[in-house]
Amino acid sequence: MLIDITLKVTPEMMDHTHKNEKKSFDGHMGTHFDVMDQEFPLEYTKRDAVVFDVSKTGDREIETDDIDPARVKAGMFVAFYTGFIERVGYGSKTYFSQHPQLSMDLIDKLLKKNISIIGVDFAGMRRGEEHSPKDQYCAQQGVFIIENLCNLKTLLGRSKHARFVAHTYPLNYAGMTGLPCRVVAQK
C-alpha cells in the first residue's frame, strides 16, 4: 500500500504562506528538505523508516523518552507524528512560530544512530533562531530534515510506532537551502 505523506499545496495556500514565511519563496514551501549547503544523496531516496506517535507531548519538547530508541537503526528515515499540521493548518503565523520542537538531546541521540532523514509534521525541529543552525548541524553530519509531512496518523493506525519504507524525491535545484520534495510511504 502506498500513502502520500506530502502536503498538497494549493495556490491559496501559497499566497497565505508567503505572507507569513519569507523563506517559502526559496524552496521552503510545503513538504521540503532543509539541505543547507549539502547535496542530497540519491541512495537516500529509499529508506527503511519508522514513525513515532508523539502527539501526547503537549507544549513541552519531544524528548528521547517519548520514543523507543531501540526501533531506530542506522540509515533510517525517522518521522514524528504530533498532529500539529492537522490541528493548526499549514501556513499561518502560529504554524511557523509555535510548532512543537525536538529536544537537543533527542536530536543528538538520533545523529549518534547514524540515521539519514528526520521527518516532522510541523515547520522545523527547532523554532526561531535555533531552526537554521540546527538544520545545518544535522546536514553537516549527513542527516536531512523534512518538514511539513502529513498523513502520518494513517501509517500509525492505533500503534505508538510503525515501520514503513520511505520513498523521497527532492527537486533537482541547486544553490537553495530548501528543496521541495515528494514523500511516499510504502507499508
Question: What pLDDT was estimated at residue 15?
Answer: 66
Question: What pLDDT was estimated at residue 172?
Answer: 86
Question: What pLDDT was estimated at residue 24?
Answer: 47
Q: Where are the beta strands (DSSP E) in the chain?
A: 2-4, 32-34, 46-53, 77-81, 117-120, 144-147, 161-170, 178-186
User: What residue has cell string 528543496?
Assistant: 179
Question: What pLDDT was estimated at residue 114?
Answer: 98
User: Each residue's pLDDT tens digit in the chain (187 positions)?
Assistant: 999 999 998 877 766 665 655 554 556 778 988 777 788 899 999 999 999 999 999 889 999 999 999 999 999 999 999 999 999 998 888 998 999 999 999 999 999 999 999 999 999 999 999 999 999 999 999 999 999 999 999 999 999 999 999 999 998 887 777 889 999 999 9
CA-based nearest residue to 66, from 134, 158, 154, 160: 160
- CA gap 167, 74 in Å, rounded: 17
Question: What pLDDT was estimated at residue 37?
Answer: 79
Question: What pLDDT was estimated at residue 35?
Answer: 72
Question: In Å, what is the CA distance from 23 to each residue of 14, 20, 92?
Answer: 12, 9, 14
- Do residues 50 and 185 make contact, with C-beta atoms less than 8 angstroms apart? no
Question: In Å, what is the CA distance from 187 to each residue of 35, 50, 157, 162?
Answer: 26, 11, 12, 9
Give the largest Cα separation in the chain, rounded: 42
For 38, counting Cβ atoms within 10 Å of its Cβ (0-12 exposed, 13-18 middle, 19+ buried), the class is middle
User: What residue has cell string 514503513?
Assistant: 164
